[in-house]
Amino acid sequence: MNPFDYRRYPSWCIVAAFFLVTSVSKGTFFDLKPTVERYLPNYDFYHNVTRMNECLHHISSQYSDFMDVEMRYRSRLGLSQYVLRIANFSLDSVDNNTPDRRSRILLSYGEHAAEFFPVQSMFHLLQNITEGYDLPVGTYGGNFTRFLLKHFDLYLLTIANPDGRVIIERTRNYCWKGTANNADLNSDLERELGNRRTVRIVAEPECRVIRDLTSKKHFDALISFHSGNRQIYFPTIGKDPKVGGTDVFYLASLLSSSLKSDYTLTPVNNTVADESIFSYATKEKKIIFTYKMCLWESEETRSESPEKDCFSIFNPPSENLQAELKAVHPLYPTLFNFIHHWKETQLYNEAEQQAKDKSAATRRLSFSTLLFFFIMGCIGVFLIFSIRVPFTWKMYYRRQRRIVSLRSLGTLFTLLIIP
């Protein structure tokens, strides 16, 4: 047995060991001093890691008909990165010949530890879905949940970076964005090209869940949620924002216009070889609708020392949390509506193309059949005229021929002429 294999130890043991080691190296490798904040999270409103886990277990057991929580993905310190699947499981196709008509979407939250707000928006979405399930048909909420379960196979990566959140809770350093390895899971969009790392961000243990899910499932869309400003990043090729795909640009503008505040649309040149979740999803996994969406920005002027006052940069005050969550929620119905109609159009076009291919194949077949019979006919005629019949066969044929005499013909004509 390898005593250094961290998977052998319970996660609390690893987290305790991590803090013991980092407290020794305090001030050298990690800056774990508490930050001076304008306001702090009230955990009656915000979820801490323990409440997050309890909440997910409670919801998934109460609504097990359409929610399933996957716990096998773990961070570097061995904490669970819960993946919640929301779908009508009875529609899971057992027969490979029956195509699954549902749209598949992956929503990723909690990549940057300091950004609490996106994780809260995920819980707000869950609350809307579960409440809608209990409402009758005809109500807005009831229709929303039924529409979702009928047409979607939804995956929520509820917290991509649990280690970072535990570090914040223990140290009260609200500027901590990275993982336990201090890796920034979606850093490449801000990073300068000259400062390229040799290690790919997507190779970090926290990204195994992304690598695994995007390899096994064919996602139509992937959105990575953030906060700190109001921007929607979308992939493009070259300088023209529409080259990446008109639909991609159109959905970004729809998402932006569905929200009251102004969101900047930021095209990201995808010809640059990047390393993060965003570029991995677009470049390697070819997920058409990939976005990085920053949900919230403080309207107050930024602190003079932003490295010491981070919670208020990334998250609204606890008493405003509910109102801010309601303000960003319309992006979800907008996203689901658009993707559903896009998927229907794709399936219709595919079916039409298949029908065209089939009729072209049938036409090709009938032409080749005709050609075959024509050639066979030609060969037959050629054989009849070219094969020499043996002499004995000719004699037999002559003996069998009926000789019609002139006398009998004359009698026949006489009978026909005389009335």
Give the number of residues in contact with Zn ion, rule: CB under 5 A: 3
Nearer to Zn ion among residue 74 and residue 112 (C-beta): 112
Interaction of residue 292 with Zn ion, rule CB under 5 A: no
How far is the C-alpha of 116 from the C-alpha of 127, rounded, in Å? 17
Cβ atoms of 392 and 400 within 8 Å: the answer is: no
Find the part of the chain contacting Zn ion (CB under 5 A) among 31-39, 221-229, 265-273, 302-310: 221-229
Cβ atoms of 73 and 209 within 8 Å: the answer is: yes
Cβ atoms of 309 and 38 within 8 Å: the answer is: yes
Q: How far is the CB of 224 from Zn ion (least distance, A)?
A: 8
Nearer to Zn ion among residue 104 and residue 226 (C-beta): 226
Q: How far is the CB of 64 from Zn ion (least distance, A)?
A: 32
Interaction of residue 226 with Zn ion, rule CB under 5 A: yes
The letter for the amino acid at 289 is F
Q: From the centroid of its chain, how far is CA 296?
A: 23
Nearer to Zn ion among residue 149 and residue 232 (C-beta): 232
Q: How far is the CB of 228 from Zn ion (least distance, A)?
A: 6
Find the part of the chain contacting Zn ion (CB under 5 A) among 62-70, 224-232, 344-352, 353-361: 224-232
Q: How far is the CB of 315 from Zn ion (least distance, A)?
A: 11
Q: How far is the CB of 314 from Zn ion (least distance, A)?
A: 8
Per-position x/- string for 97-116, each x denoting binding to Zn ion as judged by CB under 5 A, each - no binding:
---------------x--x-
How far is the C-alpha of 249 from the C-alpha of 244, rounded, in Å? 8
How far is the C-alpha of 334 from the C-alpha of 385, rounded, in Å? 77
Q: How far is the CB of 328 from Zn ion (least distance, A)?
A: 15
DSSP output for 284-324: IS--SEEEEEE----SSPPPS-GGG--HHHHS--GGGHHHH
Residue with the CB atom nearest Zn ion in the bound state: 226
Nearer to Zn ion among residue 119 and residue 129 (C-beta): 119
Phi/psi at 101 (5° precision): -85, -5
Give buried/exposed letters for 223-259 (b at 16+ CB in 10 A, else e): bbbbbbebbbbbbbeeeebebbbebbbebbeebbebb
Nearer to Zn ion among residue 227 and residue 256 (C-beta): 227
Interface with Zn ion by CB under 5 A: which residues? 112, 115, 226
